[in-house]
Chains A and B, each alone.
Chain A
Amino acid sequence: MPPKLRSDHIQQRANHVFALVMNLPALTLILLLIGYPVIVSLWTSLHRYNLRRPDTFDFVGLMNYVTILTNHDFWHSIGVSFYFTAVSVPLTILIALGIALLFNQEFTGRGVFRALLLIPWAVPGVVNGLMWMGLLGKHGAFDTIISNNIELFNKLLGTNIDYIGMASPVVALNAAVAAHIWKNVPFACIIFLAALQGIPSEQYRAARIDGASTWKRFLHLTLPWLLHPIMIVAILTTMNSFRVFDLIFALTGGGPGDATYVIAWQTYKEAFGRLNFGGANAYSYLITIITMTLAIVYIRLLYRRGSVQG
């Protein structure tokens, strides 16, 4: 090897080592803070470990997973979580997209409206739950309006509903979905707004000159540019929706009955209701596997179609 090349090679290796050394403290910290709990959690999930018998730590292999997968409560909570996710993700995207398209137009006070949009996002999950409870619970605004008009409601729709409030399983679950959407729309909206502002205006001008209608401009120009952000929003909101906990904790407490028993709530009850940490860790891993699978599916389905921007 010529001396010049050898010297470059040595320099390159030294650079790599230097970079590694510089990153070592951060890597060690990440391994300690993330890697260690993840491994301990996996290890615990393979043991029978209930805090009411803290000295018993028996290796049971996959027994905790088998127990969960053969339990009706688990499949019920999976069903509730999937419903929650299936309703909240598309609605979040649609509403956020609509608002983003609106806020992308020039109008007076646009800045103020954009700032106001952020408020729901800034509200903590538990506060969000309590606020919606105030709205939808007994003597709340919705409850008062609906309870006073339930006969009219039944007459108009031809239904025979006894009550429409948080004590109704259907209402409680969908109220939780609504509260979740309300909180997550701003985040999605910001991502869409950023993406919309990145679309070159020349392309719109060209489309107008070619006589494309508003709908066609949206379908063939705006939407392809937004597919990538939509994918990101879809992945993040799916994960958030599937793991929703704080809202359920504050708004419904899992009830009425088991109508809002999402998977994270089930995990919480296993961990802190029953103190069954072996089982609760297994639950956590199952949630992780499901959300990871969903994310991979999204990426596979949407990545190529959303790669307009390269």
Chain B
Amino acid sequence: MVVDRRQFLRHSALATMGLTSGLLGCRQSDPERVTPLVFKGWPYEPDLVKENIEFFTDQIGIDVDYEMVSGNYHDKMVALFLAQSRMDCCYVRDDDFAEWVEAGWLRPFDDLPKAESYQNDLYDYNMESMSYQGHSYGLPYYTDFTVWIYNSEMLAQAGFSQSARTLDELTEQAVKIKERSIRSPDGQRIEYPILLGFRQSPGMGFGDWWALNYGSEVQLFDDELNPIFPDDTDRQAERILQWIVDGIHKYRIIDINSLTLGRIRENTAAGRQVYCLLSKYDVEWINNRKNSAVVDTYLADRNLDQSHAKVLKMAPIPSLETGQQGTLGWTRMYCLTAHCNPDKVLDAWQLLQFLGGKDRNGEYYTAKQWFRLRGLGFAYRSLMEDPEIIAQMERWGDVGLIKTMSKVARIRENIKSPWFPDFNVYYQPEIQKILLRQQSPRDGLGRIAKRCQQFKLEWQSMG
């Protein structure tokens, strides 16, 4: 059969009309079709996240589309927010929190039912991290603080029973460890007993600088967020930096690769250094024989058949003077987005509560799951009294110290200023230049302080 042009066009038009009306018909035939909630997050343990969400759907009956945002989470989320991509809930890091609130991308939940019910149970630093200008925006995904870690076996070989409490004592211990030529489980000599985290990272990084300052109870900014350094009380901020500079160049006890190395946890577990600063939740990982050559060697030497051993121990952060204590705390949270469908706000709030608060049975189900399965920190005081949690924590950590540190942890003082991202971009290379001796601690801190004031003025002029 020969089809001419006119016939072809007529048939095509009819086919298109038929298809269109069919599709419209299908759409109209399902007027009650429910759109699921859209929940976006970075790809940490996506299978466990999916399990939690399935449990939520079973319990509450609300469908959720969980979408992983792989790659650079901050940059991709910025693009999604700008494109007004539909999403109801998402993960937010405290580093980005103020920036996203300022941009109008997050929605406060003070007006929603039971919004205040979590406040009394949250640790102070978590509560502070998740609120902005008097409004609550987030419920905790996980949270933690920085702890001082030492390899107790290596320390014992050098003749010490516990880690130093002050920075001066730490220098003495580290110098002695160097002299003793202590070796890692794979036979390498410990050249530098201390490894710190001073690798540049635009969105994160340099938590160790804050942790060391807070360990010595240094206040870096006043209430108006004006920098106090380098003339803070007893010039403590400058002295801490000088201690690190001396540790790297004079005593050679701090590895210069602290400026470039990202995998401190892995190096610690492999026994490549004696001391470091880590997030508390990493302590479970490094004391698990599956991950740690240090622990595996220790247990194998003693013919012990257990999964964990407290060889890599926690301690308060060494400080400038005795009796000082403190650490850096941070929070990862769930937030409602400003693009949240108005008809879906209550559903999204239920999801937020399930993930970051209590489930239908009044349990902190998700927070407990994360701790139980992956050792992630939680933000609720009452969980710290849970016998199951304490029993698990005892296997790898120091419960008493964890309780104390949870109470003294502080968030970065300027993290909620609108100019924090500007500061974050600027201060990291400046601190590195101090550590490389390209400028003195005093000059470097002075430059950072001056730039903070400039950033502040710029933002004030923007209103």
Contact = CB atoms under 8 A, between A and B. Distances in A.
Interface of A: 48, 50-56, 137-139, 147, 162-163, 165-169, 172, 252-258, 261, 268-269, 272-275
Contact of A51 (B103, B258, B432, B438): B103
Contacts of A255: 199-200, 259-260, 428-429, 432
Given A172-B260, A255-B260, 6 more contacts: A51-B82, A54-B103, A167-B436, A255-B432, A268-B202, A275-B99
Contacts of B462: 48, 50, 53, 56
A166 B78 contact: no
Contact of B99 (A48, A52, A138): A52
A258 B425 contact: no
Contacts of B175: none
Contact of B436 (A137, A166, A169, A254): A169
A54 B257 CA distance: 39
* Interface size, B (range): 35 or more
A167 B257 contact: yes
A51 B429 contact: no
B422 interface: yes
A261 B429 CA distance: 10
B12 to A, nearest CB: 20
B259 A51 contact: no
Contacts of A52: 99, 102-103, 418, 421
19 contacts: A48-B462, A51-B78, A51-B103, A53-B462, A137-B257, A137-B260, A137-B261, A138-B260, A138-B261, A139-B272, A165-B257, A166-B260, A167-B259, A167-B436, A253-B200, A256-B260, A257-B432, A257-B438, A272-B72
Interface in B346-376: none
Contact of A273 (B255, B257, B421): B421
B259 A275 contact: no
B74 A272 contact: yes
Nearest to B272: A139
A253 B257 contact: no
Contacts, number: 96
B260 A275 contact: no
A274 B421 contact: yes
Contact of A269 (B72, B78, B102, B202): B202
B-side interface mostly: helix
B163 interface: no
B188 to A, nearest CB: 9
Contacts of B261: 137-138
Contacts of A54: 82, 103-104
Contacts of A254: 200, 429
Contacts of B258: 167
A258 B421 contact: no
Nearest to B252: A162
Contacts of A275: 78, 99, 103, 421
Contacts of A51: 78, 82, 103
B421 A256 contact: no
A257 B256 contact: no
Contacts of B201: 253
A170 to B, nearest CB: 11
A122 B319 CA distance: 50
Contact of A138 (B78, B82, B257): B257
Nearest to A48: B462
A54 B432 CA distance: 32
Contacts of B429: 254-255, 257-258, 261
A167 B256 contact: yes
A258 B256 contact: no
* A-B pairs, 7 with minimum CB distance: A273-B425, A257-B433, A138-B257, A167-B256, A273-B202, A255-B200, A258-B429
Nearest to B105: A54
Contacts of A166: 257, 260
Contacts of A139: 272
A243 B462 CA distance: 31
Name, among A55, A147, A172, A258, the residue most crowded by chain B CB atoms within 10 Å (CB to CB). Answer: A258
A253 B425 CA distance: 12
B450 interface: no
A138 B258 CA distance: 10
A52 B102 CA distance: 5
Contacts of B257: 137-138, 165-167
B74 to A, nearest CB: 7
